[in-house]
Amino acid sequence: RNVLRQFGALPAAGIAAALPTFARAAEFSLKYGNNLPLTHPLNVRAQEAADRIAKESKGRVEIKIFPNNQLGGDTDMLAQVRSGGLDFFTPSALVIATLVPVAAINAVGFAFGDYNQVWTAMDGKVGAHVRAAIGKMRLYAFEKMWDNGFRQMTSSRGPIATAKDMDGLKIRVPVSPLSVSMFKGLGASPAGLQFSEVYSALQTKIVDAQENPLPIIQVAKLFEVQKNCSLSNHIWDGFWFIANGRMWDSLPADLKTIVAGAINDAGMKQREDIKKLNETVQADLSSKGLQFNKTSPDSFRAKLREAGFYGEWKGRFGDEAWGLLESAVGKLA
């Protein structure tokens, strides 16, 4: 991993003499892992950030990206970024919530009406509350959250128009207590699976359905193994760009400024990419055979209320976080 850090106890001249090629390696050689295909805007913008960081740090910081679950699924990467085996990771809010429960606050069903509400909350007090909680786990969360998107449901069983159509539906959800609870509340049979397993689980009909934002359905080619897409906008989901806390603390201040500046700027551009994609992705997926339908969100909300979903999660997140969310989106339960 970091050659100079490993040999930090040796006299510098000794290293240069013994290991001339290593001496030219970056001072901080860092690994970033994520769960998305290389073509997703998250990877495109992360590579730009890595290039900018290499340039601005004059080669002192090198970030190598491992996309598409190359280093294991989300659960593995979360463990690795905690231990220091990985330096950076971008878990969805749903996924980091297995470690930092309040991080799922943005994923409360049907909370956000639009992106204005999303970024006001996540760049404001809701985001600050979550970042502080992530910090307590010895992880550093960069300020700007990256966009995953509004989650939509796809199925090979037919269109979902109202909550009734979800009865007993075998649907894959991320490994996240909130997702499982929400889809149980809607009357479905959710299975928590890592994203690395989704395509084959759909292909082999272990599950009939899944839910994800349209850009993911596109880049992960889920349209190949699904027939219908029901536009439900049931959860807004984003990625926290996080760093191992010990690594982050060990970076000199000037390098922290360079790294954070590049990553936060890239995140803002990535949000714009998703916004643009949102304008074209439905037409593209239609042309590939996915059949779209609108849904009746009121039927889902009513079912969730009836199931006690909002009351339960208000209790689990606590009054402070719930209050911050409601001040951004209005009364929820």
Say which amino acid occupies 43: N
Q: Say if residues 41 and 52 touch (Cβ distance below 8 Å).
A: no
**Residues binding ligand X2X: number (CB under 6 A):** 10
297 Rama class: left (phi>0) / alpha (psi -120 to 50) / beta: alpha
Which residue's CB is nearer to ligand X2X, number 29 or number 39?
39
> Least separation, in Å, of the C-beta of 213 and ligand X2X?
7
Q: What residues from 243 to 262 belong to the interface with ligand X2X (CB under 6 A)?
A: none
Closest CB 113 distance from ligand X2X, rounded Å: 20
> Using N-to-C axis directions, what is the helix angle for 297-306 and 177-185, rounded to 10°?
100
Site string for ligand X2X, 206-245 (x = CB under 6 A): ------x---x--------------------x--------
Q: How far is the CB of 279 from ligand X2X (least distance, A)?
A: 20
Near ligand X2X by CB under 6 A: residue from 94, 102, 104, 111: 94
Phi, psi of 206 (to 5 degrees): -65, -35
Position of tokens 């509340």?
Answer: 185
What 123-128 contacts at long range (C-beta under 8 Å, 24+ apart), as own/partner pairs, is 124/328, 125/324, 125/327, 125/328, 126/321, 126/324, 126/325, 126/328
- Triad 247, 250, 251: Cα angle to 5°: 95
Per the CB < 8 A criterion, the answer to whether 270 and 138 are in contact is no
State in angstroms the smallest separation of the CB of 17 from ligand X2X: 47
61 versus 274: smaller Cβ distance to ligand X2X: 274
Please state, in angstroms and rounded to a whole number, the distance separating the CA atoms of residues 237 and 243.
Answer: 19
26 or 202: whose CB is closer to ligand X2X?
A: 202
Binders of ligand X2X among residues 97 to 156 (CB under 6 A) are 148
Q: How far is the CB of 264 from ligand X2X (least distance, A)?
A: 20
Residue 222: how many other CB atoms lie within 10 Å:
21
Q: Tell me which residue of 116, 113, 73, 74 sits closest to 95, measured CA to CA.
A: 74
CA distance 174 to 159: 21
The nearer residue to ligand X2X, 35 or 233, going by C-beta atoms, is: 35
Q: Minimum Å distance from CB 149 to ligand X2X?
A: 8
Report the distance separating Cα 69 and Cα 164, nearest Å: 35
Residue 305 CB, shortest distance to ligand X2X, in Å, is 25
**92 forms part of the interface with ligand X2X (CB under 6 A):** yes
Write the interaction track for ligand X2X spanning residues 25-64; mark x where CB under 6 A is met and - where it is not: ----------x-----------------------------
Select from 6-14, 87-95, 103-111, 255-263 the region that touches ligand X2X (CB under 6 A): 87-95
Q: Which two tokens stand for residue 16?
A: 């240069």
Positions that interact with ligand X2X (CB under 6 A): 35, 92, 94-95, 148, 174, 195, 212, 216, 237
